[in-house]
Structure 1
């Protein structure tokens, strides 16, 4: 029996906030799990410290499925991002331990390699066409073979996914609050939005990109939940001539039936689910084949155990994976994705936003990126070690995701 001796929550902010769970067994084997919930990090840290860790001591670290069910069903109050991020952290850490005990990289315990590497896509963006083209070329020089394209909209200063400069990570606003409330605490950035202007402008951008970069480059685009089903169908149809790899989050995913309308009116491939927390959120979307890719992140969907079940369910219906990979998923969560990507037969593509140098000093990873493909490496376990001294140098820094408003001031989806 490999007994759990202790568990600890580590919060660090090497440029952005991360919540990590470290579980230690009686024989000294350690496992890491990512529990980061961007903008609500401390809620998960407290949930783990006060409610989950007291339940772990003395349990057999090898019984991963039983522990998952114990934490999910045993709490009665199920699902939700805080609960599922906490369970995910435990689950990842236990898989890390099991693979270390077996002295194998984790993907070997998940069935071994189904491919030599996972196709990755990067984030190119620009406030105008020239800046966007520069960003696409920079990402190609970095080795990306598939690229997400986000564009500025004339008349709007801040638009989701558009970095401050060409080649930026495309999500600068999620950790750069522009104003302060009482006591100097950070408040969310507020952005403005006009869907009609967006719908007019985006097809012209993709026409220009295809003209400049040709038909072979896989292109992706994120609508970030901002359209009604009718608007999403309009955009999907208008983008059909440009052969997108996918249109992501075209409409809020809570109303699964809404995707029927979009699917009926466009052949553009659809991806959705980065804000989902459970396989149950996808049931209608998958069984009715209303989407082509599931977008969940291992950190927000209950860990490796639950994400593999989601992927296996999706595979029955010909739906592939496209796991959410922003930089607020730590290198621990990123490594978990890559082990799944390598093993799952129905892998589609992996989002890959590269972490900062400071982050990679705290989380030292065996990941490699070559010729457009990601691989988790051959270290045993997840392949990530945590430098505790480096982590202590970066104190928690309160921050929020932005808030979005229409031009008349109405709060809209960000």
Structure 2
């Protein structure tokens, strides 16, 4: 009896029978892949790329799902290689989000067939739960303090701090900024506390780097004075700084003992991180815009960062992110997986199953999804006493309610664009 080729199902029941690309906007836009085997076992994968959702939906529907029908749902590694190495055009957020959705859906199916929560197939628990950090922000210190207190009351034990800047009307990452709350029509359009607007083009905001560099240390001085030295504090610079500016900020924030300083400079040229590292001991986190393990090679080998920010959704799935994090562990670098609300509950659940199993977990970003989002996906994960835990249901522990999703059709929405206040030049945001 001949052995089936890799990717060909030995058992007809495990063949992939259907693949659906689901686009809905319950609070914000999500792209979800649903695979179903011959015997009716379903798996879900997240393919959301914020502001480019339809590009991924087309990539999946036109170029990926036709290749999956008839393949063995158990052949996760072979399918990953088939979609990545079998295509001439590799890497990039659209390609890797599509591969991630397939990979995650196949892991969901495999765990359901095994009758186990997914983390058990990844080696079992390494911890009780995944420490999560919340997003506190405010236009001024009073509002920021209220936001921090609110997050502490919710149970968060680590807080990301973002603040308005004097002289700037709206700052990305501050939930009370005008652009986070009001759309071009005047209607409320806060996007699960994410400043993206439902419109046919991005809103343009003003930016002043020197004002930011003067103001940020004052903010953290005030936060430490109010909340003490024990609370882990994080901050995101959103790629806005040059390497020397980033080095200055890291050094200026050293007295306030940050858990990490995130995305201090555009990450395309990884060599730039050397200059930052030379000048500050503030821990550095980077990588939410990275898509593959090759983006990290120099950063790991030269130990230029402390935390990996890539999400399952944008880095090729559970299979690929596990490789990245295993590589990071060699250099004592930990996970800090991207997890705002443009990662669907499917993507967050995948990150939690991985995070609870790996030895080098660091922290998990967590923004609570809207009620509408949770009504569509019905996640089983729980947030208690500062820790996120995946559900004990077989698979990922996330569903998909088609009828509820149909009530929330796709609507164009984009993150803002930054221009310098001084002369209107386009700037990294």
TM-score category by the smaller chain? over 0.9
Of 195, 206, 219, the match for 1:173: 195
The whole-number CA distance in structure 2 between the counterparts of 1:192 and 1:325 is 26
Measure, in 1, the Cα distance between the counterparts of 2:161 and 2:427.
Answer: 22
How far does residue 293 in structure 1 lie from its aligned partner after superposition? 0.2
Question: Who is 1:181 aligned against?
Answer: none
Query: Which ranges of structure 2 fall in alignment gaps of 5 or more residues?
Result: 1-10, 181-189
Does the Cα contact within 8 Å between 1:164 and 1:172 map onto a contact in 2?
no
C-alpha deviations, 1:379-404, integer Å up to 9, x for none?
A: 11000010011011111001111110
1:413 aligns with 2:428: yes
Partner of residue 251 from structure 1, selected from 253, 261, 265: 265
Q: Deviations over 1:307-349 (max 9, x none)?
A: 0000000000000000000101000000000001100100000
Residue 124 of structure 1 aligns to a residue whose secondary structure is strand
User: How far off its partner does 1:164 sit?
Assistant: 1.4
Task: Give me the TM-score of the superposition, normalised by structure 2.
Answer: 0.93
Q: 2:317 aligns to what?
A: 303
Identify the residue that residue 143 of structure 1 maps to in structure 2.
155
Shift of 1:76: 1.3
Partner of residue 273, structure 1: 287
Q: 1:229 aligns with which of 231, 236, 243?
A: 243
Describe the SS at the equivalent of 1:173: coil
Looking at structure 2, the residues matched to 45 and 405 of structure 1 have their Cα atoms a distance apart, in angstroms, of 30
Tell me if the contact between 1:366 and 1:379 (Cα under 8 Å) persists in the aligned partners.
yes
DSSP-derived class of the 2:23 partner = strand
Residue 314 of structure 1 aligns with which residue?
Answer: 328
Q: Moved runs in structure 1, 4+ residues, more than 3 A?
A: 168-172
Distance 2:403 2:197 in 1: 23
Q: 1:413 to 1:227 in 2, by over 3 A?
A: same
Query: How far 1:175 moved relative to its partner?
Result: 3.3
1-structure distance, mates of 2:403, 2:162: 37
In the TM superposition, residue 176 of structure 1 has moved relative to its aligned partner by 4.3
User: Aligned match of 1:77 in 47, 65, 89?
Assistant: 89
Aligned to 1:100: 112
The CA distance in 2 between the partners of 1:192 and 1:143, in whole Å, is 34
Instruction: Kindly provide the CA deviation profile for residues 26-68 of structure 1, in whole angstroms up to 9, marking residues without a partner as x.
Output: 0100000000011000000010011001100110000100000
Match of 1:66 among 78, 94, 98: 78
- Does residue 372 of structure 2 align to residue 358 of structure 1? yes
Shift of 1:169: 8.1
Q: TM-score, normalised by structure 1?
A: 0.96
Counterparts of 2:61 and 2:235, CA distance in 1: 38
SS, match of residue 172 in structure 1: coil
2:8 matched to which residue of 1? none
CA distance in 2, matches of 1:67, 1:44: 18
Shift of residue 187 of structure 1? 1.5
- Number of aligned positions between the proteins: 406
Deviation string 1:202-250 (CA, Å, 9 cap, x unpaired) is 0000000000000000000000000000000000000000000000000
Q: How far has the Cα of 1:171 moved from its partner?
A: 5.0
Alignment partners' CA distance in 2, 1:330 and 1:188: 21
Unaligned runs of 5+ in 1: 178-185
